[in-house]
């Protein structure tokens, strides 16, 4: 309900379906249907907390409290920020009358932190069943940090190659 209320143009102009009660798929039709579509993925579930740790939290873990520096709440960075960024960008672009050249799929998952079988995997199966073959996918990605890679002083963007895995390149 919050997403529909917050992004009325997305709700009105993008085709939408829901998979397994909570994962949302949006299709933003592009002007050139010969181009393979892009897919943006984000998730709004969070790693649960141990109820015995409730007293250890500076702010209630699901409060969304905002202070001078941070939004305090589980999933604010991982990955509700991705959900809100994708929808906010689409809403703003729709306000300006923008039509993407290639079709864009937004997939907003609900169970990434527990493996994604009912969310991302089910959404992938749906997209496959309707013949969607994408040009590229953008997911939540990593951070850009300085001093996190030995012998590298410049900022480095960490590129995710697999869920909960790693790969080292030279």
Where in the sequence numbering do the catalytic residues fall?
45, 112
Enumerate the H helices of 14-119 as residue ranges.
81-95
Tokens 């309707």, residue located:
130
CA–CA distance, 61 with 93 (Å, rounded to integer): 33
At 156 the three-state DSSP class reads strand
Give the CA angle between residues 17, 20, 25 to the nearest 5°.
30
Examine residue 79 and say whether the peptide bond preceding it is cis (omega within 30 degrees of 0): yes
Question: How many CA atoms lie less than 13 Å away from 124 in the CB half-sphere?
Answer: 8
CA–CA distance, 152 with 170 (Å, rounded to integer): 13
């Amino acid at each position: 309900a919050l997403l529909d209320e917050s992004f009325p143009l997305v709700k009105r102009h993008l085709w939408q379906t829901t998979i397994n009660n909570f994962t949302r798929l949006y299709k933003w039709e592009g002007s050139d249907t010969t181009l393979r579509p892009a897919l943006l993925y984000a998730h709004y579930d969070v790693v649960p907390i141990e109820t015995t740790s409730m007293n250890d939290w500076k702010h209630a873990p699901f409060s969304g409290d905002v202070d001078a520096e941070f939004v305090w709440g589980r999933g604010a960075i991982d990955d509700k920020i991705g959900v809100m960024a994708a929808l906010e960008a689409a809403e703003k672009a729709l306000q300006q009358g923008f039509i993407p050249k290639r079709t864009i799929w937004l997939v907003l998952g609900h169970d990434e932190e527990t493996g994604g079988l009912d969310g991302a995997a089910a959404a992938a199966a749906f997209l496959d069943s309707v013949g969607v073959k994408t040009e590229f996918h953008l997911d939540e990605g990593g951070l850009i940090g300085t001093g996190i890679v030995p012998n590298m002083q410049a900022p480095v963007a960490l590129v995710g190659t697999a869920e909960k895995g790693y790969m080292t390149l030279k």
